[in-house]
A and B are shown apart, each in its own frame.
Chain A
Amino acid sequence: GQQLNQSPQSMFIQEGEDVSMNCTSSSIFNTWLWYKQEPGEGPVLLIALYKAGELTSNGRLTAQFGITRKDSFLNISASIPSDVGIYFCAGQKRKLTFGTGTRLTIIP
């Protein structure tokens, strides 16, 4: 089946630092999505990308849909404590295929 490799697996950063994570796939997707999940809750959509090369921002979050349609990155600028959680990329061709997640921890 389709696999998404997401890195890094975990990040420990200071408040105020910028964060960058990415996903790569061996398959092409029509849509890339970035979700955040907090403990005991469902994934919450952060950013959706619909076109190859698209760069989209949502507040402090910026994500890009790779030109090859096989990768995407998410950047978070000036991190704050509420950014803590697990971030998942997901590629969509009808169903969603999720990445393995990046666990973000912010050190006060």
Chain B
Amino acid sequence: EPEVTQTPSHQVTQMGQEVILRCVPISNHLYFYWYRQILGQKVEFLVSFYNNEISEKSEIFDDQFSVERPDGSNFTLKIRSTKLEDSAMYFCASRTAQETQYFGPGTRLLVL
């Protein structure tokens, strides 16, 4: 069964460093998402992406964040200058024109 994959599974970085989190959505999906989950809290929406542009973003998704679909398969989330409070699990999700989103296994980001 096709699934969303994410790399790396874990990332440790120093505060102020840039990180890029990678996702490979399911191949025939058209809508892509990033969510984050701070330890012990609920999953929060960051950004949605369709037709090579951001379609919606939350207030969490500030100028430090950017997304890109550099080729036909990858979907990346970049955090330019990480802060301690960026430590969280980051989940990528994708869907077809139907409503159901499928999630990847997540990248655990730890900012020291």
- Which positions in A face B, CB cutoff 8 Å? 1, 30-31, 33, 35, 40-45, 48, 50, 88, 90, 92, 94-101
Q: Which of B67-75, B76-84, B104-112 contacts A (4 or more CB under 8 A)?
A: B104-112
Q: Would you call B106 and A30 a contact (CB within 8 A)?
A: no
Total number of A-B contacts with CB less than 8 angstroms? 56
Contact with A along B10-49 (1 / 0, CB 8 A): 0000000000000000000000010100000011110010
Main SS class of interface, B: strand
Report B-chain residues with C-beta under 8 Å of the C-beta of A42.
Answer: 4, 6, 89, 91, 103-106
- Complex: how many Å from CA A42 to CA B103? 6
Q: Is B53 interfacial (CB-CB < 8 Å)?
A: no
- Complex: how many Å from CA A98 to CA B42? 7
Q: Would you call A41 and B105 a contact (CB within 8 A)?
A: yes
Report B-chain residues with C-beta under 8 Å of the C-beta of A45.
Answer: 100-103
Q: Is B63 interfacial (CB-CB < 8 Å)?
A: no
Q: Is B64 interfacial (CB-CB < 8 Å)?
A: no
Q: Is B96 interfacial (CB-CB < 8 Å)?
A: no
